[in-house]
Amino acid sequence: MLNKLREKIITEAQVFGEIVKIDHFLNHQIDTQLLDEVGVDIAKEFPNATKILTIETSGIAFASSVARTLDYLPLVFAKKVESSITTGEYYLSKTYSFTKKREYSVRVDKRFISENDKVLIVDDFLANGEAASSLIDIVNQAGAEVVGIGIVVEKGFQKGRKVLEEKGHKVYSCSIIERVENGQVYMK
Amino acid sequence: MLNKLREKIITEAQVFGEIVKIDHFLNHQIDTQLLDEVGVDIAKEFPNATKILTIETSGIAFASSVARTLDYLPLVFAKKVESSITTGEYYLSKTYSFTKKREYSVRVDKRFISENDKVLIVDDFLANGEAASSLIDIVNQAGAEVVGIGIVVEKGFQKGRKVLEEKGHKVYSCSIIERVENGQVYMK
């Protein structure tokens, strides 16, 4: 748990229904001091990783901060693609965006994950676990090992953690939103 | 000039026509040690910046490294959007992707650039200067100052630098590809 992040969400988040808007320090403008603290906080939970995997766009900065903390591990970011056509050069996995209400695919060049890799998946948000699940699928296709999933902000009232833990994976979140009620955010 | 990057491009780039493929350390997988060296190299040229601006996706990691080096400046990344409809909450600028051969818009929430900001624009590639020009446009709309443009890899045989310098801006690139000939990359 990263207390500074927890406090920042409580005091600074704007709430619209179930939407918690923290784009002024997380996913449009980034507080780069917090970024480095997140990197250290996630890295300490997964010291055995050999590679960091994230998905474009807003996970990239946080994943790079985790990577540098773990003695400059290589960072791979999966790309979102509309089509599910694959050329044989890519690992491809279908996923669904609840925010955008549509299916899309993510892909990673086969050169960038090998069966010897111990992959730490990093993302900014965990909600239903769709994005993380598709990254796990890609790591599995490569015959590599998932050492865990590191998240900046978890929506604890959605099913993401349950989905990932049921697949047998360790999930660590720097902060967990327990519920949102009457425009107020309650943190774990 | 960042010699390590220059050498890495010469020895490791794959060349297809005029395409220089360095996605194994720059824009799909990232060498995070190099990432930090790029951050230091660009930062030293623009010590007066108060904010870093980049565009999703592959500039984000490099921009975050520059931001950290400059005493943890805030980092803003412009988002690519299909539509050019604006709500009044965003600065919006049209641009053109030569790679994807289509127009798109970039937008930045008005809360994230103020007229007092001295903005350093950071991106991974400079080719025709389309993306950088639209970011300059956005900074101008905000009434803020552009202190310069920091680039990881410049394609010196394209017009980007000329376009930006003619607008009166300082351009600094960690590496410049002078030409590509018979599958060989020649660096400045």
Tens-digit pLDDT profile for residues B115-141? 999 999 999 999 999 999 999 999 999
Cα gap B164→B160, rounded to integer Å: 6
By the 10 Å C-beta count (0-12 exposed, 13-18 middle, 19+ buried), B133 is classed as buried
A179 CA: distance to closest CA in chain B (Å): 27
- Beta pairing partners, B16: B19
Query: Rounded to whole angstroms, how far apart are CA atoms B33 and B61?
Result: 12
Test the B interface: residue of A12, A28, A75 with most B CBs within 10 Å: A28
Mean pLDDT value of segment B93-117: 91
| Residue A96 pLDDT exceeds 90 | no
- Neighbouring CB atoms inside 10 A of B126's CB total 26
H/E stretch holding A53 reads: strand A51-55
Judged by DSSP in three states, A87 sits in coil
Nearest to B48 by CA among B116, B139, B142: B116
Pick the residue from chain B with its C-alpha nearest to A51: B29
Question: What pLDDT was estimated at residue B72?
Answer: 98
Read off φ and ψ for residue B26, nearest 5 degrees.
-120, -50
pLDDT at B17 over 90: no
The mean-pLDDT minimum among A12-16, A117-121, B67-71 falls in A12-16
Provide the token pair at A19. 């939407």
Chain B residues whose beta carbon lies within 8 Å of the beta carbon of residue A30? 64, 67, 74-77
Say what the pLDDT of residue B83 is.
Answer: 72
pLDDT at position B120:
98
Does the CB of B31 have a partner CB in chain A at under 8 Å? yes
- Whole-angstrom distance, CA of residue A58 vs CA of residue B152: 20
Judged against a pLDDT cut of 80, whether residue A87 lies above it is answered with: no
Kindly report each contact of residues A112-117 with a partner whose C-beta sits within 8 Å and lies 24 or more positions away, as own/partner. Answer: A112/A74, A112/A76, A112/B24, A112/B28, A112/B29, A113/A51, A113/A53, A113/A76, A113/A138, A113/A139, A113/A142, A113/A144, A114/A142, A114/A144, A115/A142, A115/A143, A115/A144, A116/A50, A116/A144, A117/A50, A117/A51, A117/A142, A117/A144, A117/A145
The per-residue pLDDT for range B22-34, each reduced to its tens digit, is 999 999 999 999 9
| Torsion from C-alpha of B61, B67, B68, B72, nearest 10 degrees | -140
pLDDT digits 0-9 by tens, A46-57: 999 999 999 999
CA distance B76 to chain A (A): 4
Question: Does residue A21 contact residue A15 with C-beta atoms inside 8 Å?
Answer: yes
CATH number at B3-187? 3.40.50.2020
pLDDT of residue B6 exceeding 80: yes
Helical H segments across B26-159, by residue range: 32-43, 60-69, 130-141
| Separation between Cα atoms, residue A74 and residue B29, nearest integer Å | 7
